[in-house]
């Protein structure tokens, strides 16, 4: 992460990022009577890899003490690979591998304006991106009694686009009110839903007939709302939030 001052009012940040993870996972059942172990399905595909490479830039512009503008861009590439050969001994999945390669350009832009000691306005816009990880693609677990989550090798990344408007009211540091309203639109949201495995909606898992579920892409989703907070300073030693 590097920083460069373009002027007294403008700063420029830039950098590179790389992350690599290798996942090892094994499953076994233990008989506490005979004190013996027996191999069983692992929660994650053993030997899976996940890696992320990114380049990012950010600009901060502060022409005065009352106004700040900041924006940024980030390009991200995420690659995950999973091999289900070991787990297929127990699951009989219709696939042996899941390879996911996803890229996206995301950005943020926001400003803060403090016209006087009582008021502060904040406005932010952003886009976000999340590629399917090994947990989304390959985990196996009983999410609840009577249900089991199985791998899904056909997932797309989810994208989010949102905005937030906030207002802070400061009454002589005695009463401080924080309010904000926000809205986020999710495209291809990754959610857990009922599904099927080899055409079956139920399978026997751990000796119990269970509904088949998997992480899937929803067509779209919305998140919106508002929040409000207050802080009252009765004295230096007594405060209420």
Contact between 178 and 217 (Cβ < 8 Å):
no
Predicted confidence at residue 6, as pLDDT, reads: 77
User: Rounded to whole angstroms, how far apart are CA atoms 150 and 98?
Assistant: 13
Confidence of residue 135 (pLDDT cuts 50, 70, 90): confident
Cβ atoms within 10 Å, residue 48: 22
Place of tokens 């905005």: 163
Both tokens of 36, joined, read 């013996």
Average pLDDT, the chain: 91
Gap between the Cα atoms of 30 and 42, Å rounded: 14
State yes or no: pLDDT of 145 exceeds 90. no
- The tens digit of pLDDT for each residue in 74-89 reads 999 999 999 988 888 8
**137 in helix, strand or coil?**
helix
What are the helix (H) ranges across 66-158? 88-91, 134-138
Closest CA to 162 of 119, 124, 213: 124
CA distance 144 to 210: 9
Mean pLDDT score, 1-5:
73
pLDDT at position 170 is: 96
- Write the CB contacts of 94 (distance below 8 Å, at least 6 apart in sequence): 197, 198
Q: What is the mean pLDDT of residues 143-149?
A: 79
What whole-number distance in Å separates Cα of residue 224 and Cα of residue 107?
20
Q: What is the pLDDT of residues 89-130, one digit of tens each?
A: 887 788 888 888 999 999 999 999 999 999 999 999 999 999
Q: Each residue of 163-202: pLDDT tens digit? A: 999 999 999 999 999 999 999 999 998 888 888 888 888 8
Instruction: Identify the band that residue 239 occupies on the pLDDT scale cut at 50, 70 and 90.
Output: very high
More confident residue, 219 or 86: 86
% of the chain exceeding 90 in pLDDT:
58
Confidence of residue 143 (pLDDT cuts 50, 70, 90): low
Per-residue pLDDT, 91? 78
Per residue in 54-74, pLDDT (tens digit) is: 999 999 999 999 999 999 999
pLDDT tens-digit profile of 35-49? 899 988 898 999 999
Q: Encoding tokens for residue 226?
A: 């508002």
CA Rg, the chain, in Å? 25
Task: Give the per-residue pLDDT at 180.
Answer: 98
């Amino acid at each position: 992460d590097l920083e460069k001052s373009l002027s007294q009012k403008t700063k420029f940040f830039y950098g590179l990022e790389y992350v690599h993870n290798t996942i090892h996972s094994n499953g076994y059942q233990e008989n506490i009577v005979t004190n013996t172990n027996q191999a069983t399905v692992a929660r994650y595909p053993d030997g899976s890899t996940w890696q992320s490479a990114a380049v990012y830039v950010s600009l901060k512009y502060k022409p005065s003490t009352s106004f700040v503008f900041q924006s940024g861009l980030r390009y991200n590439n995420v690659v995950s690979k999973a091999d289900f050969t070991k787990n297929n001994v127990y699951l009989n999945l219709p696939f042996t591998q899941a390879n996911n390669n996803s890229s996206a350009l995301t950005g943020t832009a926001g400003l803060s304006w403090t016209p006087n000691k009582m008021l502060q306005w904040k406005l932010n816009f952003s886009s976000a991106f999340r590629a399917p990880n090994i947990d989304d693609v390959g985990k196996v677990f009983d999410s609840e009694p009577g249900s089991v989550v199985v791998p899904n090798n056909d997932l797309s990344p989810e994208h989010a686009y949102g905005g937030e408007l906030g207002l802070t009211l400061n009454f002589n540091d005695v009463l401080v009110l924080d309010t904000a309203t926000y809205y986020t639109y999710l495209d291809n949201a990754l959610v857990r839903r009922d599904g099927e495995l080899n055409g079956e909606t139920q399978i026997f898992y751990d000796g119990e007939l269970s509904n088949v579920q998997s992480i899937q892409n929803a067509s779209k989703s919305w998140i919106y709302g508002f929040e409000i907070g207050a802080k009252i300073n009765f004295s230096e030693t007594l405060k209420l939030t």
